[in-house]
Amino acid sequence: MYFKIVGFIKRDYLIESRYKLNFILSFVSSILPVLSFFFVAKLVEGTGTDSLDKYGGDYFSFALIGISFTRFFQLAVDTFSGNIKRAQMAGCLEAILSSQTDSKTVVLLSSIYSFVAAGVQLLLMFAVGVLFLGFDFSNTNVLALVFSLLLSFIAFISLGIFSAAGTVIFKQGEPVGWLFGAISALLGGAMFPISVMPEWLQFLSKIFPITYALDVIRLAILKGYSMPMMWEQLSILGMMSCVLFPLSLRTFHWAVEQGKRDGTLMSY
């Protein structure tokens, strides 16, 4: 397995790095939203809102965590289906699936480089925030943060694998990625606390893992909350992960088998 992980990372790094301008721009473009929200924070500074008090009251810190992690989780959802789509369109999927590696392993390993690259972009966004814009990590409860990230990661990988299964079946316009992309920024509270929304929208937001993920990450970083203090959100996130992950793998396997039966696996 180790050689396969290295092989996939090497393949994707070599391909990405040979599109030089795109490679550089992908890192530069991750910094721009940080600057935008820094200035938005300047604009709303001092207007005071109770909704932010739960997270320490600073809008820039709130928004930086919201946009950076939503971006990272969005990638977790998009990367699997994106890789399937690219392999279908490039004509490599048939060659890959005729190899001695099963389809589930292929789809999981195809996404490792994207996560590494997105992780580097996430760190870059926080590095700019800490070094130049006054973001503060001093309150962070590291253990609670790591655990929250792990649970969130599993939940979003599961959505990503559902999305990949959707791509195998529907080709274009698969619904999971669309649903997450369209709704996460609005309902998940990436840019504003969900408590400012009407109650029925707040209720709706509780269906989506992004709501709990951003909440626990913010509380662990900005307020230093421990795991027992966030047990309710972590339990819900944990239950979502435990149900969604095995279900997503089974769904993807079913989609590939169905594609082989229908003969539509390689079409796009």
Can you give the binding site for another protein, defined by CB under 8 A? 3-4, 7-8, 10-11, 14-15, 18-19, 90-92, 94-102, 106, 257, 260-266
Residue 138, classed as helix, strand or coil, is coil
In whole angstroms, how close is the CB of 157 to another protein at the nearest point? Answer: 21
In whole angstroms, how close is the CB of 2 to another protein at the nearest point? Answer: 9
In whole angstroms, how close is the CB of 84 to another protein at the nearest point? Answer: 15
Query: Dihedrals φ, ψ of 14, to 5°?
Result: -60, -45
Question: How deeply is 202 buried, as exposed, middle or buried, from its count of CB atoms within 10 A (0-12, 13-18, 19+)?
Answer: middle
In whole angstroms, how close is the CB of 19 to another protein at the nearest point? Answer: 7
Residue closer to another protein (CB basis): 158 or 167: 167
Question: CA-to-CA distance for 68 and 118, rounded, in angstroms?
Answer: 10
Question: CA-to-CA distance for 34 and 63, rounded, in angstroms?
Answer: 9
In whole angstroms, how close is the CB of 247 to another protein at the nearest point? Answer: 22
Residue closer to another protein (CB basis): 52 or 87: 87
In which element (H, E) is residue 131 found? helix 112-132
Residue closer to another protein (CB basis): 90 or 150: 90
Question: Other CB atoms closer than 10 Å to residue 154's CB: what's the count?
Answer: 19
Cα 106 from chain centroid (whole Å): 19
